[in-house]
Structure 1
């Protein structure tokens, strides 16, 4: 395990990153406008798909459902890097932070490439393929965060971990006020007794915000997918950017949680 000074140094880096989450990038603010303009023109089936996503995220929180990631493949990757047998999540939880970070970045790069190809492919069909792309990107997002969770020694099979994953997903797309609120909610999550608290459970309405923010984030994409070929480029860029931002938030928040746990042991 890292020393107290090493852990505090890592924690300072994460806290600096948190302070830097002070608002939406200018283009992100602009990108939400087209959706509001085009909302009334959006085909009914896309609105219905948004409703389906609400049900799917609710099901994910309760049971994991079809979105649970396959552990075995990831364990093989971790085992190779750690040079030690990995059979369960418990075999991962005490690995060095540096190794967790290295493996996370390798796995995330694959997810970003996949999301880029997916966005470009669905971009070919214009606005109507958004009904396919939105749930597909949600699936990639959830699987990416589950992989980051596993790499840091947390088991998505546990309901409390799926709650944390949804909060991270919500954080990655929230505005500055929302980000600060979520950081406060997660600040003591490393303490086991807070996992199933009534307060955290009540905050699961946040999954609705996740879905509607997903919808808004597709504003530019929806606009440019009306133009042949442009949808391919913007589909690829949008999907890659969203997975990149999500992954960064996931690594930072899981890393902070792991550091706080280890500091408590050291002290």
Structure 2
């Protein structure tokens, strides 16, 4: 009899189950806090920042706005209809949530370095290369999301998974006015999007193009505008891209955690509920 376990022996396998359960409960608590923070109404600082954002938008050359809009639309359509960003390997199976989270953190660290290097290189070149950075950064973000999906066991050959990634992307760079609707879609993804497979045209219809472009542009404009300041471009470019990848990484990891735990709960329920 093992007194250290309350008088009963505890196998190594049982101890591992307890540790994993404790980790999953910890993540559930983190997700509740994340959701509360994500959906809270905008405060005074957020409203003031929005006013500053509007002024920044007016300072950015219209050509830059047009470039961002065209790039976003092109890459989103590529994401929906093509396989350009699909990783070569198969989605990871038979891993615990802890193991997936650890791989996801390593993946994010790698992509933040890639994004920072891209921002530093183009930021040093002034406004023209700064414009080049927009499509490069979006492509880096998409590649990260596709690889992240495979880390959590989801196959991006499936067009429904690519649509899911676009919603994650939107949530990461959305304003607080539209976050509740986006979050609700992601939180109930299996019930609303996980069964039927829309046509290619159907996918396009599910994206509010104008909102998608505006929200993303507004989210990145302030940081990217600073990148265009002469003499500071390289430093600001690296900082901006690093931060934008960090924002996307936190949102993406939490969305996949939420989905993974939801499916795990569903699979453990008895047929009688």
Instruction: Tell whether the structures are fold-level matches, with TM greater than 0.5.
Output: yes
When normalised by structure 2's length, the TM-score is: 0.78
Contact conserved, 2:149 with 2:155, CA < 8 A, in 1? yes
Counterparts of 1:45 and 1:256, CA distance in 2:
36
Instruction: Give 1:91-102 correspondences, 5 Å limit.
Output: 92-102=92-102
Contact conserved, 1:120 with 1:232, CA < 8 A, in 2? yes
Residue 50 (str. 1) matches residue 50 (str. 2)? no
Quote the residue 1:36 is aligned against: 57
Residue 125 (str. 1) matches residue 142 (str. 2)? no
Counterparts of 2:97 and 2:179, CA distance in 1:
24
What's the offset of the Cα at 1:195? 4.5
Aligned residue-pair number: 245
What's the offset of the Cα at 1:191? 4.5
When normalised by structure 1's length, the TM-score is: 0.80
Contact conserved, 1:189 with 1:195, CA < 8 A, in 2? no
Residue 241 (str. 1) matches residue 243 (str. 2)? yes
What's the offset of the Cα at 1:33? 3.2
Quote the residue 1:103 is aligned against: 103
Counterparts of 2:193 and 2:220, CA distance in 1:
37
What's the offset of the Cα at 1:188? 1.9
Counterparts of 2:262 and 2:243, CA distance in 1:
29
Counterparts of 2:210 and 2:142, CA distance in 1:
15
Counterparts of 2:215 and 2:49, CA distance in 1:
12
Counterparts of 1:130 and 1:23, CA distance in 2:
33
Bigger RCO of structures 1 and 2 (CA < 8 A, at least 6 apart): 1
Contact conserved, 2:80 with 2:203, CA < 8 A, in 1? no
Instruction: Give 1:160-199 correspondences, 5 Å limit.
Output: 160-191=160-191, 194-196=194-196
Cα separation, partners in 2 of 1:23 and 1:103, compared to 1, 3 Å: farther
What's the offset of the Cα at 1:94? 3.0
Quote the residue 1:63 is aligned against: 82
What's the offset of the Cα at 1:31? 6.2
Residue 212 (str. 1) matches residue 214 (str. 2)? yes
Residue 136 (str. 1) matches residue 136 (str. 2)? yes
Counterparts of 2:109 and 2:51, CA distance in 1:
27
Which of these two proteins has the greater Rg computed from alpha carbons?
2
Cα separation, partners in 2 of 1:195 and 1:234, compared to 1, 3 Å: farther
What's the offset of the Cα at 1:34? 4.3
**Runs of 5+ unmatched residues, structure 2:** 1-15
